Copies of this chain bind each other. A is one copy, B any other.
Amino acid sequence: MPIATNTDFTREEVRLALRNPGMPLEALRRDVTPIGMHYVLVHFDIPDVDATTFELVVDGCVRTRLSLSLDQLRARPAVTTPVMMECAGGGRAHLTPRPVSAPWHDEAIGCAEWTGTPLRGVLEEAGLLDDAVELLFTGADRGLDQGVEQDYQRSLTVDEAMTDGVLLAYAMNGEPLPPPHGFPLRLLVPDWYGMASVKWLRSITAIAEPFEGVQQTQLYRYRRSEDEPGTPVTRKKPRALMAPPGIPEFLSRTRHVPAGRTLVEGRAWSGAGAIERVEFSADGGATWGDARLGEPNGRHGWRAWSFEWDATPGDHELSARATDAAGDVQPLDSEDAWNLGGYGVNAVQRVVVRVS
């Protein structure tokens, strides 16, 4: 993707932002993100799929080709679970120079309650043959990217696809999937960034060679130059975000907070394990105090945290940072996470607050 060296944004970035909403950060006070507040990233157009004639095809290196209607999928064992979802491009717009794509800052997030049937059961019923190495997931959305016309496609290895928690999801917060979230069916890979959770899913093909498509070999790779192959973007890195306290100014979004004890609340998550610690800073990251952690919201949800901050008159920069069970901690500076695609930029949030 192109790289911008100036701090202003292109019209293409603005139009992507208008098509692809973030979650307003005040929703970080909620365990479950309402439909219409959850972030959306749509690569091409939102397809209009007819649920009455819909069939999910499972084919390729399988003993039994399957063709499953929505009713047949709904009749299978069902799981309902909160899943924190995040776009791999979250934080990209904090980088200098800046990869030109969806200009996410901190809001490419959401945590809905998803209902679906475990993928593993469907794959076991189809019966993977010994030569199957990956499952290829194809959506109904089609367009051009990196000069290649394509259906949106991503693959998982057999082991990744058979993992507990991977779902074929047909409901979000108890409702049929809204069109931007993949109606009528999507894949859900809870620990990974969102690109793996293929929407408008229409086929699953067991393949004998690793998938080499654009969304896997050219995009969604950590690399610092076009010359290196890089490593694939997979699990979400740890991150803590706060609901900005006080009230905002319309254009600048600067926060105005009355002096005194202020409860700062937020949520934290990681794709590599439970959140073990969240710290809060009111001085731009110079000093930190431990936040109080709430109960985890399921194995794949986010975890609430809060900090009683004594707001004193003046301007302050508030931050939070998370540490996960793998020992990974957020960097202070976005540039430490710089990469060509602007993926996984999980530097600490910085919220400017004016106390009076």
Query: Which A residues are closer than 8 A to B by beta carbons?
Result: 1-2, 6-22, 24, 26-27, 29-30, 34-38, 40, 42-46, 48, 93, 100-101, 103-105, 107, 142-145, 149, 178-181, 247-253, 256
Could you tell me the dominant secondary structure of chain A's interface residues? loop
Tell me, in angstroms, the Cα distance from A93 to B9 when the chains sit together: 13
Tell me, in angstroms, the Cα distance from A48 to B265 when the chains sit together: 14
A14 touches B249 (CB 8 A): no
A26 touches B45 (CB 8 A): yes
From A44, which residue of chain B is reached at the shortest CB distance? Answer: B248
- Knowing A1-B251, A144-B249, the reply to whether A105 touches B18 (Cβ < 8 A) is yes
A144 touches B247 (CB 8 A): yes
Tell me, in angstroms, the Cα distance from A249 to B6 when the chains sit together: 24
Tell me, in angstroms, the Cα distance from A299 to B214 when the chains sit together: 47
- Knowing A8-B9, A36-B178, A178-B37, the reply to whether A247 touches B44 (Cβ < 8 A) is yes
- Knowing A18-B104, A248-B44, A256-B144, the reply to whether A36 touches B179 (Cβ < 8 A) is yes
A11 touches B7 (CB 8 A): yes
From A243, which residue of chain B is reached at the shortest CB distance? Answer: B45
Q: How many copies does the complex hold?
A: 2
A248 touches B144 (CB 8 A): yes
CB distance from A64 to the nearest CB of B (A): 33
Tell me, in angstroms, the Cα distance from A8 to B251 when the chains sit together: 17
- Knowing A18-B17, A42-B24, the reply to whether A12 touches B252 (Cβ < 8 A) is yes
6 new A-B contacts at CB < 8 Å, known A9-B11, A27-B46, A30-B48 = A9-B14, A12-B251, A15-B253, A18-B107, A21-B21, A36-B178
Tell me, in angstroms, the Cα distance from A46 to B37 when the chains sit together: 10
From A108, which residue of chain B is reached at the shortest CB distance? Answer: B18
Tell me, in angstroms, the Cα distance from A105 to B145 when the chains sit together: 23
Tell me, in angstroms, the Cα distance from A248 to B143 when the chains sit together: 5
B12 touches A10 (CB 8 A): no
B13 touches A250 (CB 8 A): no
B250 touches A143 (CB 8 A): yes
B14 touches A13 (CB 8 A): yes
- Tell me which residues across on chain B come within 8 A of A24, comparing CB atoms: 19, 42, 45-46, 180
From A101, which residue of chain B is reached at the shortest CB distance? Answer: B251
